[in-house]
Amino acid sequence: MELTLGFSPCPNDTFIFDALIHHKIDTEGLTFKVVYEDVETLNQNAFQSILDITKLSYHAYAYAVDNYILLDAGSALGFGVGPLLISKKGIDPESDKNLKVGIPGKYTTANFLLGVAFPGLQNKQEMLFSDIENALLNEKIDLGLIIHENRFTYQDKGLKKIIDLGDFWEKKTGCPIPLGGIVMKRSLPEDVIQKVNRVLRRSVDFAFQNPKSGLNFIRSHAQEMSVEVMYKHIELYVNKYSVDLGDDGKHAIKLLFDTAVQSGIIPAVNKELFLTQS
């Protein structure tokens, strides 16, 4: 059986999915047609139920939950992994409500955190996450919300950190920040969903046990990154929650959703968020 699968070309995703798509593990008869997109494009695709399986932002999951169920493996949660708000000069984000902020997408978890921390910042410009640093350098925006590998490169370009929004969330809640997860269409047969859940965990386990196995594949999709930065990126975003959400991970996700609903950032969610393992 072939399933469509979408994830980003970022090292954490290619690290996780390498063994699965290249059949380095037992995929239980499944094959995958892969689509590589940035996270906001994946979010938009999920709203239209285009792919069978997809990576998406947890913020976006609130708008796709009727059609998709969250798998236990493949998520990016953790401490010290949050998005950064940066600028070319030192700027107080609360000094001017008209400050123009470059964001990597309306439905990213990064934008959700920005809304919780600085609700007054409403002058937002959506752009590809990899374009935000240059937009700041060219003074097209005043503040930039960066994710992924850009947290390792912004200082080299003379840009300054204003706040780590992951650190803000951790201090506010004591929980890891849920960034993105892997979801699958609820309409697919239950046995297929359970099979993908098993195979995905197998792929993550293989990656941890053989971290250099997918080096060429990961490097072929990485943007302007040395191998050292590439693996720093992986170490930051791939951890125990990527193997299995567990009770702590699920609690953090539920808290994120409850906070977003209370803040009016997302509508009330009436579907079960998590897969029941059989």
DSSP for 208-247, please give it: HHSTTTTHHHHHHH-SS--HHHHHHHHHHH-SHHHH--HH
Which residue among 22, 23, 148, 233 is the active-site one? Answer: 148
Closest CA to 12 of 196, 189, 239, 195: 239
| Distance, first Cα to last Cα, the chain | 20
240 exposure class (CB count in 10 Å sphere: 0-12, 13-18, 19+): middle
Q: Specify the amino acid at residue 150.
A: N
Q: 57 among the known binding-site residues?
A: yes
Q: 56 among the known binding-site residues?
A: yes
Tell me if residue 59 is catalytic: no
Q: Would strands 101-103 and 124-126 be described as parallel, antiparallel, or unpaired?
A: parallel
Q: 41 among the known binding-site residues?
A: no
Residue ranges at the known binding site: 55-57, 109-110
In the annotated binding site for substrate, the residues are 55-57, 109-110
Q: Which residues are catalytic?
A: 148
